[in-house]
Amino acid sequence: MNASDRTPADLLRSALAGDPGRPLVTFYDDATGERVELSVATFANWVAKTANLLQGDLGAEPGTRLALLLPAHWQSAVWLLACASVGVVAEVGGDPAAADVVVSGPDTLEEAAACSGERVALALRPLGGRFPQPPAGFADYAVEVPGQGDRFAPFQPVDAHAPGLVVGGEELSYAQVVARAREDAAERGLGEGSRVLSGLDYDTWEGLSAGLFAALASGGSVVLCRNLDRLAPDGLAQRVESERVTHTA
C-alpha cells in the first residue's frame, strides 16, 4: 500500500495498481451456499459502476448522507468504497428519515421507505441477482448498476478530512478510517498476502475493520462469512484450510 493514501478509495486504487488479479473479497452465505470471489480488479469495477450510479443517477455529491441498511456482504463492501469515491457519508444502520439517500436490503424495505430522497434496494441474491418483483418506490440495484461506466472520476475532489463514515454512533473522516484501519492491521499482524476470515457484522467498527478496511489497508484480503452459525461443526476448520486463512475475527 502507498503511505500517501488518505481515503479508502486511495487504498483501492493502490491495490489495483499493485496486483489487480489477486483476491480481495471472498464472500460466503452459509444460509444459501453462495460463494463469490472478487479480485481487486473485479471489486474495483463494481465500485466504479456503483460510484457512477451514485454521482450520476442519484445526484450524490460530497457531504450527501446515505443510510446503509445492509448486512456484512460483498455488495455492502462495494457500497462503502463507492461512497468514499464520491465523498458521500455512509451511515451504517443510519436513520433513513434523516438521510438524502437510502440503500436497503430486502429485510429493511419498510424502514427504508421513510427516506424522502433516493431509494435503492438490493435483493442480496446469489450472483448479484435482481428482485423477482421490484419493490415499489425503490430502484433495483441489480437492474441499474450493470449499465454504468467502468471508470469513475468524481465531479469534485474528495476531502480526506471531511466526514466519511458513521458507525456505532461515531463519525469518522476518511483519513481517520484509513488511519484506524492501518492501526488495526498492525495490531493484528496483517501484511501483504494475509487472509482474514470474519463472521462479524458491519454494524460496528470492529466488523468493518476485520471484514474490509484493515485488509485493504495492509495489502491483504478478506473471507467474509454471513450466517456462519449454519456451518457444520467441522466446517469452519475446513474453510480456514481451503481458503488459506491466516487470521480470524
**8-248 has CATH 3.40.50.12780 classification:** yes
User: What digits encode the pLDDT tens for the residues 15-73?
Assistant: 999 999 999 999 999 999 999 999 999 999 999 999 999 999 999 999 999 999 999 99
Query: Where residue 125 falls among pLDDT bands split at 50, 70, 90?
Result: very high
Stated as kind and residue range, the H or E segment containing 172 is: strand 170-173
User: What digits encode the pLDDT tens for the residues 130-168?
Assistant: 999 989 999 999 999 999 999 999 999 999 999 999 999
Strands 65-69 and 101-104: parallel
What is the chain's alpha carbon radius of gyration, rounded to the nearest angstrom? Answer: 17
Do 6 and 24 touch, CB atoms closer than 8 A? Answer: no
Mean pLDDT for the chain overall: 97
C-alpha 160, offset from chain centre:
18
User: What digits encode the pLDDT tens for the residues 7-21?
Assistant: 999 999 999 999 999
Q: What is the pTM of this model?
A: 0.97
In angstroms, what CA-CA distances link 58 with 32, 63, 93, 199, 205?
31, 14, 20, 31, 27
Q: What is the DSSP letter of 105?
A: -
Whether residue 1 has pLDDT greater than 70: no
